[in-house]
Amino acid sequence: MISYKKSLSIVFFLLSVSMLQAQDIVTSLLLKGDKSYNEMQYSNALAYYRQAYVRASKSATLSSKKEDVAAKVADCYWLTRNYDSAYVWYSRISSAPDAIQYRKAELSAILGKYAEAASFLKSVSGFSERATGFLSTAAMKKDSADWSVKYLDGINTEYFREFSPVLVDSAIIWTTNQPKKFSKNGVMAWDNMGFNRMLQVANAESLSALDLSSARKLYDPKKLDAKQPELLATHYALSDFDLLSTVKIPNDLLRKMKSIVAIATPVVLSEKFSYNIAHATYNSTAGQLYFSANRQEKLKNKVRTVGIVAANRNGATLSGAKFIFADGKDYSVMHPAVHANGTTLVFSSNMSDGKGGYDLYIAEKTSDSTWSNPVALTGVNSKGNELFPSFSPNGSLYFSTDGHPGLGGLDIYMASLKGNNTFNVQHLSAPVNSSYDDFGFTVAADLKTGYFTSDRLGSDDIYKFGYEKIIVKVSGTVISEETNAGKANVKVILYEKADNGSFIAIDSVVTDGKGKYTFNARPNRDYRVTAIDPSGEPTVNFNTNNNFTSKSPVDLLLKDKKPVVVAPPPPPPPPAPEVFKYIIYFDFDQHVITSESAQILEEVKAKMNENGDYKCSLYGHTDLEGGEGYNTVLSSLRSKTARSFLKKLGIDPKRVTIEFFGETRPVIQTRSIKEAKKNRRVEIEVTK
């Protein structure tokens, strides 16, 4: 018979073996995940990391690793642009370095939670202006009336990426990862899609476009959930190393691909180029197309960087392709933009001397085949990424960044360029910019239309824009009280309300012979007009919200005859009722009255007994954990429990009212269960 002491030793031994095995399994999964991650096989890495997280969660000895593994899972979701899942996983990380805080902020902005985004970002070095910008996003939308945006239905798909359009005369060239055919060759491990290549349509205006409301119906989440597994999960399972040579394509996608092939022509290179080719710009003076391409040489255990290629263009055929910068093997040089003069080149690079991830650089052509050493555009670059530059026909520089104040993700900016300096950097208003990634902006010769890329519907797609600056005519009359008619030669000043709340003079006129004046104003702004006259300076405030034509009359009355009668001051308001406030707190996910809360409710009872006219109001709240509907019910239960307790103490329920607000009114913005106790509360007010 085995002794009791010996049996305990066996149990402890088996437990130790079990814990070691659990550690070995988690370590093995993490090593496999890291290998896939480093090879940019994020779909595989995600599967390994999620398994490691589940096992670490079940082991007390491995619980300390949970947040590290959660960060890896979140990174994979971020890099494959599954923003909803990334938000959930980043939320599981309590203490995070700047890189993760930045991503939390960006994900919050994508979801429209700008106050939360600002709180995450304010502590991240180099992003204070962007954090402040998240608190004033309304100002970034006030020019929205000037822009119209439509979805380019002819070439966009729900499954593949279409991005970086460029206009070359009447033709439009764009980049897509739609594969030539579904096979094990030419597929990226990143997202199991084809390598980027370029297509063109000879006449951009021939492409049909849809209103955004119609386009959103194409991306119905239920519809995508039903079709994505058929395309990806089934036929691309472990596709990084085990892709089937042929797959079944859903019928609607097959029809769409055939319709694109019918109108689009592949951009073909005479030279053999492998891997990714993307984001073109046209040098009209040289007849060359510049584009980004992966370096072609053989590599071993290194990331394949990107360089800039110049090639002669003849329709959809390119020849004489060669990289224009010999260096760059340890960093990428990409997203070229050639000025209309043909001698100025701006591009994006992650060289080590930049401010952040990717920055913009400028180079000048020194001969037919060489360029000057690139210089950073310091007036544009930020701690974030500056990408996808382009020039308009009149020389304005457009680029996208996630480092300047914006609506979230990459936003499009315009800047004037003079030599190596930039000035007057302007954020483009919604609806061109959104809380998602907006980039790849190209302007037509008329300077009023063009195309850009956005992933606002869940996938990179190309949109067509139109621009026309809207003017609102503001008119009125300065009226003399003496004659009850318009008064001539009175100076009238127009003020506009700035973002900080102050009013700034922007224009002035003198009334005509009939006392009339007119100003040119803009939609979606607050204004003030003031008449300057010896008899007084009457002022009228008004706004042009949702007003795109005219605002009239905005009349001003001059008190130039009758004395101004000063009205007696209004009687003082009645004294505010005295309010006695109390707060009780609850444990996580509970609505049970604790002993501490019971003592406070005894105090409430005593106060109620002082005066029979006293009423009691109970306001229930929860923390930020859990779903919105669940938290609403929980806050209701907390209010009702407090009312029931007061009833047991002898307080008539008719004297008690309850309200409940779920998670909508937190005292502190946190998901930490310990710190969020201040949010799990019922606020109590006793008053007459």
Looking at residue 81, its pLDDT comes to: 75
Reduce the DSSP state of residue 499 to 3 states and report it: coil
Q: Output phi, psi for 423, to 5 deg.
A: -150, 165
Q: Is this model's pTM higher than 0.95 or not?
A: no
Number of domains forming the structure of the chain: 3
In this prediction, residue 21 carries a pLDDT of: 58
Is residue 586 located within the same domain as residue 662? yes
Same domain, 597 and 624: yes
- Could you tell me where the DSSP H helices lie in 479-614? 595-610
| Strands in 544-655 per DSSP E | 550-551, 556-558, 580-585, 615-620
Residues 6+ apart with CB under 8 A from 292: 276, 277, 278, 279, 306, 307, 308, 309, 334, 335, 336
Q: Are residues 182 and 277 in the same domain?
A: yes
Examine residue 445 and state whether it is found in any structural domain, yes or no. Answer: yes
Angstrom distance (rounded) from CA 499 to CA 139: 7
Q: Which of 415, 445, 467 is the last residue of a domain?
A: 467
Residues 175 and 323 in one domain: yes
Same domain assignment for residues 345 and 225: yes
Answer whether 527's CB lies under 8 Å from 557's CB. Answer: no
Q: Are residues 224 and 372 both part of a single domain? A: yes
**Nearest partner of 562 among 478, 476, 480, judged by Cα:** 480
Are residue 297 and residue 258 in the same domain, yes or no?
A: yes
**Is 543 in the same domain as 636?**
no
Domain end residue (candidates: 429, 449, 467): 467
**Statement to judge: residues 272 and 239 lie in one domain:** yes
Under DSSP, is residue 313 helix (H, G, I), strand (E, B) or coil? Answer: strand
Co-location of 170 and 254 in the same domain: yes
Q: What is the pLDDT of residue 466?
A: 97
Q: What CATH number does the domain containing 631 carry?
A: 3.30.1330.60
- Residue 102 belongs to a domain: no
Say whether the peptide bond before residue 431 is cis (omega within 30 degrees of 0). yes
Same domain, 623 and 546: no
Enter the tokens of residue 688: 């007459």
Neighbours of 499 (CB within 10 A): 9
Asked if the structure places residue 484 within a domain, the reply is yes
Q: Supply the DSSP string of 76-137, one letter for each residue.
A: HHHHTT-HHHHHHHHTT-SS--HHHHHHHHHHHHHTT-HHHHHHHHTTSTT-HHHHHHTT-G
The dihedrals phi and psi of 558, each to the nearest 5 degrees, come to -90, 125
Q: Residue 233 sits in a domain of what CATH number?
A: 2.120.10.30
DSSP character for 229? Answer: I
Which parts of the chain have pLDDT scores under 50? 1-2, 4-6, 8, 10-20, 182-187, 189-190, 222-248
Where is the domain boundary, 467, 483, 498? 467
- SS3 of residue 154 by DSSP: coil
Q: Is 559 helix (H, G, I), strand (E, B) or coil?
A: coil
- 476: domain range? 472-558
Report the distance separating Cα 343 and Cα 368, nearest Å: 10
User: Between vectors from CA 177 to CA 254 and to CA 346, what angle results, nearest 5°?
Assistant: 150
| Residue 27 located in a structural domain | no
Q: Which of 436, 469, 442 is nearest to 454 (CA)?
A: 436
Distance of alpha carbon 236 from alpha carbon 242, whole angstroms: 8
pLDDT in tens, 240-299: 223 333 344 556 767 787 888 889 999 999 888 888 889 999 999 889 999 998 888 876
Domain assignment of residue 437, yes or no = yes
The CATH number assigned to the domain holding 485 equals 2.60.40.1120
Contacts of 68 (CB under 8 A, 6+ apart): none
pLDDT, position 193: 61
Q: Are residues 357 and 503 in the same domain?
A: no
Residue 246 lies in a domain: yes
Is residue 17 one of the residues assigned to a domain?
no
Residue 670 belongs to some domain of the structure: yes
